[in-house]
Amino acid sequence: MNTHNDKLDPTLEEILNLEQQVWTALVEGDAQADRALLSADFLGVYPSGFANRDDHVGQFADSPTMESYELSAAQLRVLTADIVLLSYRADYRRPGASAREAMLISSLWERRDDGWINTFSQDTPVDVN
């Protein structure tokens, strides 16, 4: 178990649970929950371009953008006790879509005054197999 400045490193399970809360907000169309998990200075790098927190939250405006999802192959890189990089594969289906889609995602989580918050995310589309 590593420590930095007497803080325990976060676990993969802890950070993956936070990431799943973001996905659950997308499935439930819960803009308030989504906003609470993202930092005010959040940056998303997506195939469609750059996005800030308002862009991310505004994408669904209280209606779901995901019907279902499954996260797999999760890896956690602990950069410091307060900054971690979560990388994983997301397989998901959008509402009304017949086909599933998939992305490789990296999310940067930072421990700030109010706990862990997502400050950066990059999505890379991959073939569904």
Query: Quick one: pLDDT at residue 5?
Result: 58
Q: What is the mean pLDDT of residues 44-63?
A: 89
Q: What angle do CA 107, 95, 46 make, to 5 degrees?
A: 30
46 torsion bin: left (phi>0), alpha (psi -120 to 50), beta (else): beta
Q: Which domains does the chain have, with CATH numbers?
A: 3-126 (3.10.450.50)
Report pLDDT for 59: 82
H helix intervals, 1-123: 12-28, 31-37, 53-58
pLDDT in tens, 10-49: 999 999 999 999 999 999 999 999 999 999 999 999 999 9
Return the sign of the alpha-carbon dihedral for residues 87, 23, 51, 119.
negative
Q: Is residue 51 within 8 Å of 60, Cβ to Cβ?
A: no
User: Model pTM?
Assistant: 0.91
CA-wise closest residue to 71 among 7, 21, 121, 30: 21
- Indicate the range of 1-10, 11-20, 46-55, 61-70 predicted with least confidence: 1-10
